[in-house]
Amino acid sequence: MSDFQQNKLFPFSLKTISLITWVIVAMVVANVSNVTAQQTVVKGRVIDAETGDPVPFVNMVFAGTTIGITTDFDGFYQLKTDLAVDSISASYIGYVTRVKPLQRGKVQNINFQLKQDLVNLQEVVFIAEENPAYEILRNVVRNKNKHDRRNLSAYEYESYNKTEFDINNLTEKLRSKKVFQKISSVMDSLVQIAGEDGKPVLPMFISESISRFYVKNNPKIQKEYIINTKVSGVGIDDGSLTSQLIGSTFQQYNFYANWVNLVNKEFISPIADGWKTYYEYSLEDSLYVGEHYCYKIDFWPKSEQDLAFTGTMWITRDEYALKQLDLSVNKTANLNYIEKIKIQQELVPTEASPWIAGKTRVVIDIGQLTKNSPSMVAKFYSSNKDFVVNKPYPSKFYETMIELDEGARIQPKGYWENNRHDSLTATEKNVYMMIDTLKNIPVVKTFTDVVKTAFTGYLKMGKFDLGPYVRSFANNEVEGIRLGIGARTNIDFSDRWILQAYGAYGFKDEKWKYRFAADYIISRKPWTKVGVETRRDMDQVWLLNDDLENGSIFFAFSQFGNITRPFNHLENTLKFETQIRNGLTQKVTFKQHDFSPLFPFQYYEDPGNNESAIGSSFSTSEISLETRFAKDEIFIQNDNNRVSLGTLKWPAFTIKYTHGFKGFLGGDFNYDKLNVNVTQSLKMGFFGVSRYSLSGGYIFSQLPYPLLKAHIGNESPFYTPIAFNLMDFFEFVSDRYASLQYRHSFEGFILNRIPLMKKLKWRLVANANILYGSLRDENLNVALPDLDENGVEIPAFRTFGNTPYIELGYGIENIFKVIRVDAFHRLTYLDTPDVRKFGVKISFQFIL
């Protein structure tokens, strides 16, 4: 082809074509760059304006589009689009929707603070067809066993827990008070904790802990090994007690169970077996949550005062597993002092199918006690990782349910920065700084000391505690005015030795009373302690009962007014206690006791021989073996003390055998006694909580009546669960007996259904106290009849016939949130003219 022909077909030269090609490429590149430059990217975090906490599951949407995402569990989000957008909205049920402007075509951070909004869910009516959420719920219940962690043979994980307590609603009137002026100046000098739109709060406590949590099922036993803790609080020391309470043991919420324990109350789970009875449901959406396509279901209780939840849950479409929840309990529920509870939980699947909580957040708003008083917010956060399933350890491994590493309170440099699961927010760093400042203010230190003294009964003064204050004053017909003072050492003195002393003086009998005691902790793992004690005092015969604690308020009250069969005594005790294994404790006690009556009392020194010498005073020497078995009892160590938090499910059994030695250290009698006791709390969901104590005992020997079983009566106007409340002091004595003391709190089960009553939040209670005993003639005849100054016989006590003693009671608790009133009817042994057939008792209690 000729050059002319080529030019006719291709009018552009190769040079020109090359130039055009580069221009086209440049235009394409420029266009792509322009598109990239115009893409809008927004990321940030959503928090609660009042508490400063992250808000998960919030709908983040570019306004005017369908492009959106939900915030993750920690409130973070990221969105991008090529569309022309100018604003982004954040919306979620229970919060006021908020819209913020954005800059188109840029990468930017936009954070939101959402204000809470009281939203009442509208009633949803399904006509003709079944509620579409019901079939999903039925499938969830069918698959519960597959996904419930209780069906694993064992599981374990590393747990990071964070706890914070803040005081809020600090009104200007409160801040203007003189006592708050120095505190207010501290608050004004620091960054406001809640943030740009939040309310000022006063942080009081923050803690962190890292532990390894172990569970073995069937039967369930658990163990938490606390690796490290960090505690900062106003009036709260970084002691061993606090370090044990902030771990994972007390942050367990399993919504696959029918009932969820929260603030020591039983709440019905939204996926309980009887879900349809308690809740209404609405299927709102279906969407991806991470890798799982989920159904989004809203739910709310049928009765607003029931202990139930309002919220949203996400159910996986393929497995019908619970993926995440956002729940709240509003102030309409039958709870005291609590305005609102919010729980958010995100679950993760394990390799064996069951799902375990990966992250849990709980926020509890504790309301104002009075109009001008502040309120409190309690926050709990738990993060779990490194799951291991179906690899149980030997049962001995779980013997100590909460174990604190010896170096747990030591803070190696950089430890928390490298080991906490999530970094601290700027807000939380401010909390630490503010607490360190507040706790050094003198007025704050004084106030916290007063509060701790009121709760413990002791005032800490360096290495010693002064008290207990309940035994500092008494007034009765024998001693007249009685003044006393006591003290004990604390852990600052020694982590092994506990020394105690108490002295009192009666201005009428002009006698000194005293108590000296020394305990030595041999081992903390297993708990093993030995102690000695000597005590000289004035007591009453009916108080010779192991069910009463010498330092209890009921015991202290008995020191006022008329005294029933008083005596002076000297008591020396040697005791040993050890934990044999988890739930099994053994005590051995040796006691020597001298008894000197202050009332007419005589007995045959050789029981059964009416011609033997007659005495009035006597001595005993005895040894007692006490075994206690409580399968799932939780113990914590409070400095130098071991404190029981009760059992989770199983009853606690106690068996005690006592043998008295005649001739040993002045003992006047040989005798044998046996006592058995079973106690348990039974949680019955909406029906309330029952508590029972079943006891039985037998005294095999002949003894004068001060050494027999004197059953505890109650002549005071106050209710006490350990006493028979219409029985007089020292009314009944036996040498063999069986008793049942049963209490039931209906919570709001009945009164919540009465329109005029439910706003009061009163709660019904019921009592049944039954006692059957007998006294063999050989013991009845050991003591001579008591005679007055004129030689007239004084009835000492009553004995049981063929009828048990029965009293039934009913009452109302939660009157003004703190008062309980019980009415009792005595049904048997009504034949004496001054018997109390009916009585009303009052008590004061702090309950939620």
pLDDT, tens digit, for every residue of 769-788? 999 999 998 888 888 777 66
Please report the sign of the dihedral spanned by the C-alpha atoms of residue 50, residue 54, residue 57, residue 61. positive
**What pLDDT is stored for residue 788 in this prediction?**
64
Question: Which helix (H) or strand (E) covers residue 668, if one does?
Answer: none
Distance CA(598)–CA(568), nearest Å, equals: 7
Cβ atoms 609, 599 nearer than 8 A: no
pLDDT, tens digit, for every residue of 690-722? 999 999 999 999 998 889 998 988 888 888 888
**Residue 382: inside a domain:** no
Backbone angles phi, psi at 581, to 5 degrees: -160, 180
Both 96 and 53 in one domain: the answer is: yes
> According to the per-residue pLDDT averaged within each range, which of 264-268, 294-298, 646-650 is highest?
294-298
Both 68 and 85 in one domain: the answer is: yes
**What pLDDT is stored for residue 115 in this prediction?**
85
Both 830 and 768 in one domain: the answer is: yes
Both 110 and 7 in one domain: the answer is: no
**Residue 377: inside a domain:** no
Q: Which of 277, 301, 322 is the last residue of a domain?
A: 322
Q: Which of 63, 79, 114 is the last residue of a domain?
A: 114
pLDDT, tens digit, for every residue of 710-765? 898 888 888 888 889 999 888 899 999 999 999 999 887 787 777 777 778 888 99
* 3-class SS of residue 603: strand
**Residue 139: inside a domain:** no
Q: What's the whole-number average pLDDT of the chain?
A: 83
pLDDT, tens digit, for every residue of 792-805? 666 678 888 889 99
pLDDT of residue 238 exceeding 60: no
What CATH number does residue 610 fall under? Answer: 2.40.160
**What pLDDT is stored for residue 171 in this prediction?**
64
Max Cα–Cα distance, the chain, nearest Å: 159
**Residue 579: inside a domain:** yes
DSSP state of 716: S
Q: Which of 63, 98, 114 is the last residue of a domain?
A: 114
Both 33 and 44 in one domain: the answer is: no
pTM of the model: 0.76
Percent of the chain with pLDDT over 70: 85
* 3-class SS of residue 447: helix
pLDDT, tens digit, for every residue of 398-455? 888 888 887 777 778 888 889 989 888 777 777 887 777 777 777 666 767 776 777 6
Full 3-state SS string of 65-83? CCCEEECCCCCEEEEEECC
Both 8 and 55 in one domain: the answer is: no
Both 28 and 89 in one domain: the answer is: no
Q: pLDDT band at residue 74, thresholds of 50, 70 and 90?
A: confident
The range of the structural domain enclosing residue 292 comes to 264-322
CB atoms inside a 10 Å sphere around CB 619? 17
**Residue 228: inside a domain:** no
DSSP state of 708: S
What CATH number does residue 99 fall under? Answer: 2.60.40.1120
Q: pLDDT band at residue 120, thresholds of 50, 70 and 90?
A: very low
Determine the residue type at 179.
V
Both 687 and 764 in one domain: the answer is: yes
Both 92 and 21 in one domain: the answer is: no
Q: pLDDT band at residue 32, thresholds of 50, 70 and 90?
A: very low
**Residue 202: inside a domain:** no
Lowest mean pLDDT among 290-299, 424-433, 643-652: 424-433
- Of residues 84, 359, 414, 172, the one with CA closest to residue 248: 359
Both 27 and 52 in one domain: the answer is: no
pLDDT of residue 27 exceeding 60: no
- Of residues 334, 241, 368, the one with CA closest to residue 847: 334
**Residue 149: inside a domain:** no
pLDDT, tens digit, for every residue of 384-410? 999 999 999 998 888 888 888 877 777
* 3-class SS of residue 509: coil
**What pLDDT is stored for residue 506 in this prediction?**
93
Determine the residue type at 7.
N
Both 58 and 17 in one domain: the answer is: no
Number of domains into which the chain is organized: 4
**Residue 659: inside a domain:** yes
Both 643 and 742 in one domain: the answer is: yes
Mean pLDDT, residues 489-505 taken together? 93
**What pLDDT is stored for residue 787 in this prediction?**
66
- Of residues 687, 56, 622, the one with CA closest to residue 361: 56
> According to the per-residue pLDDT averaged within each range, which of 282-286, 308-312, 546-550, 574-578 is highest?
574-578
pLDDT of residue 188 exceeding 60: no
Mean pLDDT, residues 143-169 taken together? 90
Question: Which helix (H) or strand (E) covers residue 570, if one does?
Answer: strand 566-581
